[in-house]
Homo-oligomer: A and B are copies of this chain.
Amino acid sequence: MKQDPRLLLGKPVQERILAEVRGITNSAGRIGKLVSISIGDVPEVAVYVRNQARAAAAVDLPFDQEFWGGEVTQEECKARIQEMNDDPEVLGIILQRPVPSHINVRSLQSAIHPLKDVEGMNPASIGNIVYNDVAMAPCTAAAAVELVRATGLNMEGLEVVMVGHSEIVGKPAAMMLMAEGATVTVCHHLTRSVAMHSRRADVIVVAVGKAHLIGPDMVKPGAAVIDIGINQRVHPDGTTEIVGDVDTDAVKEVAGWITPVPGGVGPVTVAILMRNAIRAYERQQAAGWRS
């Protein structure tokens, strides 16, 4: 069966980015390793880590997996991260989420040196985005921007409606799209009418975490719809299904482009993580950390 041309797939974008990254890792010398930290036993983390490890292998980046027991203290975590900050072998640090409830994840993210913050989660990294320095942006936000770019739409003057204003997706994506010239409206749970905004948008980016929040009546014909949501649905027969924040099948009949879930933003996100690793390498070089 021929692929529906309205579906904006993540795979080709992922492959293009990974090929660029591999070109750089293969010509660079010793580049160091990525370290993934999982704290406690969280089943959903295993999937992320496996995808990241696979992408790292595809671009010839060493990828270490650290598993810290659920009883580790905040202070121990911080001390170990600080050791990694000082270790020249460590190129970048990935702190898998969620973490156990006694761990303050924000504080640990702040402990990761900005030059090793390949996930772009340190407040200093986020602050740089406000200053239009988007080199190491949060991966999901950057993936959404890459997918908008993949439509070929001219970003300048583009009317974008971002639904969801989280710190790690909605707000940074909004600022990155502004930096490209888009006019961005950020809607959220207190917005009077999301539809009033989404219906006039050239591009809708949704990151809320509510299955099928966006239906066809909320989308302008021909618009691009980037769906960042990942929601698990349990059917009456007990089977489960992963769906996005957009009612993909219905919205597909209206939209010009729509990213499927799974297979849209996700594959691009992990590629961006690898691209951030290269940018970390370049910044560490520029800072005199590497020769």
Q: Which residues of A contact B (CB under 8 A)?
A: 106, 122-133, 156-157, 159, 165, 167, 171-172, 174-175, 178, 181-188, 190-192, 197
Cross-chain contact B191 with A157 (CB below 8 angstroms):
yes
Known contacts: A157-B190, A159-B192, A192-B159. The answer to whether A131 contacts B167 by CB under 8 A is: yes
Q: CA–CA, A131 to B128, complex, Å?
A: 13
Q: Is the CB of B172 within 8 A of A130?
A: yes
CB contact under 8 A between A130 and B131, given known A178-B186, A187-B183: no
CB distance from A219 to the nearest CB of B (A): 18
The residue that A124 contacts in the complex, of B123, B167, B186, with Cβ under 8 A, is B123
For A196, the closest partner residue in chain B by CB is B200
Q: Evaluate contact between B184 and A185: CB separation under 8 angstroms.
A: yes
- A interface: dominant SS: mixed
Q: Which residues of B contact A192 (CB under 8 A)?
A: 157, 159, 183
Cross-chain contact of A127 among B122, B178, B188, B190 (Cβ < 8 A): B122
| Leading 7 A-B pairs by shortest Cβ distance | A127-B127, A123-B127, A126-B127, A185-B185, A183-B191, A181-B190, A124-B124
What is the count of identical protomers in the complex?
Answer: 2
Which residues does chain B contribute within 8 Å of A190, judged by CB atoms? 156-157, 181-183
Instruction: For A187, list chain B residues within 8 Å (CB).
Output: 183
Closest to A182 in B: B190
- CB contacts (< 8 Å) of A132 on chain B: these are 167
Distance between A155 CB and nearest chain B CB, rounded to angstroms? 9
A227 to B167, CA, bound (A): 28
Q: 16 A-B pairs, CB-CB below 8 angstroms?
A: A122-B127, A123-B124, A123-B130, A127-B128, A127-B130, A129-B130, A157-B191, A157-B192, A165-B178, A171-B175, A178-B188, A183-B186, A183-B191, A183-B192, A183-B197, A185-B186
Distance of A165 Cα from B172 Cα, bound (Å): 14
State in angstroms the CA–CA spacing of A191 and B192 once bound together. 23
User: In the complex, A126 Cα to B123 Cα: how many Å?
Assistant: 8
Whether B188 lies near A185 (C-beta < 8 A) is no
Contact partners of A122 in chain B: CB under 8 A: 127
Which of chain B's residues have a CB closer than 8 A to the CB of A127? 122-128, 130
- Give chain B residues whose Cβ lies under 8 Å from the Cβ of A156: 190
Give A265 to B192 CA distance when docked, in angstroms.
Answer: 28
